[in-house]
Amino acid sequence: MKNTLADRKKSRIGSNTVMLMITIALFVLLYGAGCLMYADKEFGRLQNFLNVMINNAGLIIVACGVTCVMLTGGIDISVGSVVAMTCMFMSVGLAEWGMSSGVLIALILLIGVVFGAVQGFCIAYLEIQPFIVTMAGLFFARGMPAVISTQQVSVPFESWFGQLSQIKCEIPFGIGAYLNKKGVLVTPYVRITLFI
């Protein structure tokens, strides 16, 4: 019996490694195809790649979490709705409730922990199927933005987090530097929020 369990673990780890390698290979292949197709638009520049990372940092975090869930054989389909709910909470908190960014970030992390703990409890201890639990979480989190506010919200930029998001961290040693159309040397950079 022990050999069978060990063999299953080995095959599962092997299949996870294969899936990771396939994902990396697809990324490299698609990025390479994009560089070839849009070479005239300078798609292959380091700054364009970094812009993709800057603009999608939140999605990258969510994708890493879901990847860990899927590698362990689970599923979570509620993550997109939870992102929408927490973003609406943050926006309304800044624009209408006059709360500080730091307090809102702490509250959003707490909401995420509670949301995940409730779903984890339902899956682990009540033994409800993960797909059903996360679908219920999806519908709950999808409806909550309308409960928080039914109006369009404009987020004020005066918050310290907004100012923090404008800080640029230049790539050292001039790696990927290039001359723009005006002849000015441009050094690639990332925003500090990417590291956060």
Cα 40 to Cα 53: distance, rounded to the nearest angstrom: 21
Provide the pLDDT for residue 100: 84
| pLDDT tens profile 49-71 | 888 888 888 888 888 888 888 88
Provide the pLDDT for residue 126: 94
Q: What is the mean pLDDT of residues 81-109?
A: 90
Sort strands 185-186 and 178-179 into parallel, antiparallel or unpaired. antiparallel
| pLDDT tens profile 113-142 | 999 999 999 999 999 999 999 999 999 999
Closest Cα partner for 16 from 64, 65, 76, 71? 71
Greater confidence, 150 or 110? 110
| pLDDT tens profile 138-182 | 999 999 999 998 888 887 766 677 777 788 888 888 788 888 788
Cα distances from 81 to residues 36, 69, 85, in angstroms, run: 35, 17, 6
Provide the pLDDT for residue 122: 95
Residue 195, φ and ψ in degrees, nearest 5? -75, -35
Those residues with Cβ within 8 angstroms of residue 60's Cβ, 6 or more apart along the chain or in another chain: 53
